[in-house]
Amino acid sequence: MSLKKIKIINVVFLFLLSFLWHFMYNWFPNNIFALVFPVNESIWEHMKIIYYCLLLGSILEFVLCKKNNIKINNFYIEAMIKSLLGVIFYLIIFINEKAKRKKLNQIVNLLENINNKNYMINIEDNEEGIISLLKNEIYKTMIMLKEETLNSYNDKLSLKNSLEDISHQLKTPLTSISIMLDNLIDNDRIDDKTKKEFLITCQKEIDKINFLIKSLLKLSRFDVNVVKFNNKSYKVTELINKVIDNVGILCDLKNIKINVNITNDYNLYIDLAWQVEALTNIVKNCIEHSNINGVIDITCSDNKIYSKIEIKDYGTGINKEDLNHIFERFYKGKNTSSDGVGIGLSLAKTIIETNNGKISVTSKEKCYTIFEIKYFK
């Protein structure tokens, strides 16, 4: 048998042996076989196929050459080099797999922390590689979950506070109505004039409850993003006139005059119905805090960046401590009347800012209050 045939036999032997080597542990799973046969699909385990098959292939080649009296030049040197290379590859893969296993263990620990809702760990990894990318993605997920958890907690806290406020806001007028109706039912000696006054007061309290419930329903629609604005182009005069019509009776009750100053009748791209409601709530607030025979100025101007509507009253003004809170739901400042429910300005701000606008307020106590609304183009 020639050396060439021996080489061919060795190649075929290595091919068949490596194929069998791959599946031996699956066929005969035990601890002894695990030392020489791959137990999973990792590169580290597959190095066993290369190392042991090359070793057995060298032994087979040596035996066949000896049997056929073929002299092998440098056989031992080749065998040592193959063995040494096998050991080097073995060590390289071992070190690499050990590093990967360490990172995988870190990922497992991170996932356990996520399962335990512990999102306070910094695990940013500046290294390259798939595992490092996976770690960074897990880190991003942890940041997102941390924010979601915080938002969920804040939402629950906000809901709790809102429910308490709603309960308080409803309780006060309902109690008033209940007391007055009890008096009307139980006291037969109440004259007609007093009865009428009681009924008028009851009607006011019912109107307050009605306004509160409607406003809360509208705010809840904004909270869950179900409001769809029907934006169209409208003249600013049309918007202002509708607002003035809405507050006409209130102005008559306090003999308040509204002055309108429009530099040019420009167009606004808005949802008219919603913006009329927002500005009406603002003007109502100005009327509430104006003195009898007072004046409210509405000034409209326009530039390339935004259109501005300024609403100014000369009444009680807003206390400095209240100024940063007047747009909060159910907030009542020191100068708020007993009839106020503290939700009109909150609704106005939500409507305006959801419809590409911005509202701000400046005030000097016992002098004036200015609401500035900007609609950006």
Give the residue, 120 or 285, on which the prediction is more confident: 285
pLDDT band at 10 (very low <50, low <70, confident <90, very high): low
Could you confirm whether domain 159-223 is CATH 1.10.10.60?
no
- Mean of pLDDT values over 16-20: 70
Q: What pLDDT, on a 0 to 100 scale, did the predictor assign at position 290? A: 93
Instruction: Note the CATH architecture for domain 232-376.
Output: 2-Layer Sandwich (3.30)
pLDDT for 360 beyond 60: yes
CA distance 23 to 45: 12
Domain parsing of the chain, residue ranges = 3-115, 159-223, 232-376
Instruction: Give yes or no on whether 159-223 and 232-376 have one common fold.
Output: no
Q: What pLDDT, on a 0 to 100 scale, did the predictor assign at position 309? A: 97
Report the share of the chain in percent with pLDDT over 90. Answer: 31
pLDDT for 107 beyond 80: no
Model pLDDT for residues 82-97, shown as the tens digit of each residue: 667 666 766 776 677 6
Q: What is each CA distance from 79 to 87, 158, 165, in whole angstroms?
A: 12, 76, 86
Closest to 315 measured CA to CA, from 333, 299, 331, 341: 333
Average pLDDT, the chain: 79
pLDDT for 20 beyond 70: yes
In sequence order, the 6+-apart residues with CB closer than 8 A to the CB of 43 are 93, 96, 97
CA distance 224 to 217: 11
| H helix or E strand, kind and range, residue 308 | strand 306-313
Contact 343, 284 (CB under 8 A): no
SS3 1: coil
Q: What pLDDT, on a 0 to 100 scale, did the predictor assign at position 102? A: 75
Q: What pLDDT, on a 0 to 100 scale, did the predictor assign at position 261? A: 96
Whether pTM > 0.75 for this model: the answer is no
Q: What pLDDT, on a 0 to 100 scale, did the predictor assign at position 193? A: 85
Backbone angles phi, psi at 337, to 5 degrees: -75, 165
Torsion, Cα of 270, 286, 246, 357 (10° steps):
10
pLDDT band at 305 (very low <50, low <70, confident <90, very high): very high
pLDDT for 339 beyond 70: no
Model pLDDT for residues 134-167, shown as the tens digit of each residue: 666 777 777 777 777 777 777 677 667 666 666 7
CA angle at 286 for the pair 319 and 170, rounded to the nearest 5°: 80
Model pLDDT for residues 188-245, shown as the tens digit of each residue: 788 888 888 888 888 888 887 887 788 878 877 887 788 899 999 999 999 999 999 9
